Structure 1
Amino acid sequence: MASSAGLSLCGQALVVRGGSRFLATSTASSDDDSLFIYDCSTAEKKSQENKGENGQPVDQGTDTILASTFSKSGSYFALTDDSKRLILFRTKPWQCLSVRMVVRRCTALTFTASEEKVLVADKSGDVYSFSVLAPHGCGRLELGHLSMLLDVAVSPDDRFVLTADRDEKIRVSWAAAPHSIEAFCLGHTEFVSRIFVVPSDPELLLSCSGDCTLRLWEYRSGRQLQCCDLAALQETAGAQGLKKFAASRITFWGQESCVGLLCDCAPVVFIFQLDAGTRRLAFLQRLTFPCRVWDVVFEETRGLWVLQDCREAPLVLWRPVGGQWQSVAESAVPQGLCSHLRGNWAMLEGSAGADDGFHSLYKATFDNMTLYLKKKEERLQQQLEKRQRPRSPLPGSPRGTKKARRGRAALGC
């Protein structure tokens, strides 16, 4: 599963990533002086002298950024790349604090609410924690799954670590003792691509899966509250939808209690509204775009930021106008950032070209029974035809077979 271009946002701090680089700026400023650019290809690399288990050099990978996130206050920013590095930044002002190695390539990461640790989930199914206060400290293994992890989250009180894997499971573990499992949220029939703890109601969890559903849970009990069929919503909207798709992003807008859901490999964003009283999701609108959407994220004071595969307008802002979501004027978008994105278009275009989304995670199924039954029927038919075929005397034996002649001799014939 490769990584495409992406967005990260906290407060007014916005990061756009693609390939090995990211650009950070403020959504409230168009000043070029506020722009920070970092390239992972310049970061410290692991020595080529290290050997793997078979004596071969360790795979160095590329410098492509696989995942990134802000801490809760926005004071820290972390990313992992294809070279198995965890890079930690301070954001006020921007400064690289450390470059640490991880054991396996990571699929997701998150900060604890206290901002004392960053948790990374990897392809082997493990979650490691790395200290933020001691930025050069080694990682510590916290928990593991038997299959690839696709997302990790923490409860707002830091009591629980929530993990989602390829085998349709969501596990809720105690942070203080990760071997102690509080609950499983079971019901998805394909890999769980994204999970999200609702900030306005920290007992609720949203999850998306390759089974084309969005589900709402009370995660401490593992009880499912609602299941929304996204494929049915596409058909209702009269769209020519994909047969299989998963959500690559869940984002939440606290101001209107809106949930934004970006569909992987499709220019579609679903907007839902969460009713705090009934704890139910109501479908509001299906946003369509003329080109592929790489990522979306809500900003509390402004609306929905959309990063799209369009060089002329790589970053656009959507807001609800008269009850319907619409794109706003370009003047609302930091022109300095858009200018830099156009100038560095290769970093976005190159990362998107290598992205296969979640397609490779679907489990292949084989219908061996149909082939077996067909061959069995053919075999039985051949045996039936053989039994029904009349027997004829052997050539040169007009009186029949040897066995028949013996029978006639015994009767004195």
Structure 2
Amino acid sequence: MDFEDTPEEAEYRAKARTWLENNVAAHERERFPDPLTRARAWQARKTEAGYACITWPKEWGGGGGTPIQSVIFGQEEAKFPSVQAGYFTIGLGMCVPTVMGFADDATKQRFVRPAVRGDEIWSQLFSEPAGGSDVAAIRTRAVRDGDDWIVNGQKVWTSGAHYSDYGIVLVRTNTEVPKHKGLTMFWIDLKSPGIDIRPIHQMSGKSDFNEVYFSDVRVPDAQRLGPVDGGWKVALFTLMNERLAVGGATGVGPADILKLARELPGSDGPLLHDRAFRERLADWWVLAEGLRNTRMRAITALSRGQTPGPESSIGKIIAANQLQQIGNAAIEAEGQFGIIDDPDLAPMKGAFHDAVMWAPGLRIAGGTDEILKNIIAERVLGLPGEIRTDKDVAFKDLPAGG
């Protein structure tokens, strides 16, 4: 495992850092009517410089670079919180790669470059109320009608659907075969007649997720991604990209709660002097270092032209749980003042409160803890696969409801 950049990587890092320092400053001097417009402008600026979708071909608006260059730029860009925005993560990390992998040339020509520039935003419509973590349990139906399909059903937890232009949707097209074999993927225009998008109010006061209802939505067969009833393999392609897109957690870490503990009073001096707290802090620090080294292993693989394996699933399990633990510990340590989440009054502008409210969702996004542990057990450790009694049962014969 390498901890240092090669000379070529160091040169690229210095170039990226200089570009960021100059352009972030220029971007911050501009005035925008809303956060989305600001994010679109930054995405367009990166695209023009070849720093958006660095590994994608230049003819599609990408940078034509290498995976390690993408990692390096991401590390440097993360040092500038003012330009961090999640509007394009799902589209560019999951949806558009699926379009690039399975759509015809005309579709790719139409959609990829505008998505890279941030002109159009995409969302992913997989999860359903009755499906839980089982993507193959989808009940939203698509029935063939000539050259079109008629879609009816409901999706839930669709991130960003309320500001997205397009999406990829996984639907059931055959109930006579086992659940994994009767799925089909389409791309859709989220402004199509019959689509009703309803934001979900979160405890943070935000509405990042949505319920999406389909009522006799007509989707042309030309918008199909992959073969009819072959959508599971397309979905796996999307989910592989999703693991990478949400593989880590951003937010407060051990260094942040260490700083807070130096300032907060404990039973005998600052909280940092409390032995029980110091033990917890040590555990978080060890986990953070283990996670850092695991990421370095993945970065080393990229640097050598290799592809990181399923062990990258470890990252989200550790990061999401640690984020939740640190947020909870910080709020509890603040006592009665922990209820104050005003960014102008709370420590770190309320970042610990954001961690408490965001971390539980992060433990579900991109695969629940339980799903990822199964992946690690079966694909990394080589343990026997989980018993699946419904593997060969036709979907129509599976029990439904209570």
TM-score, normalising length: structure 2? 0.25
> Greater share of helix residues, 1 or 2?
2
Greater C-alpha Rg: 1
Higher RCO (CA 8 Å, separation ≥ 6 residues):
2
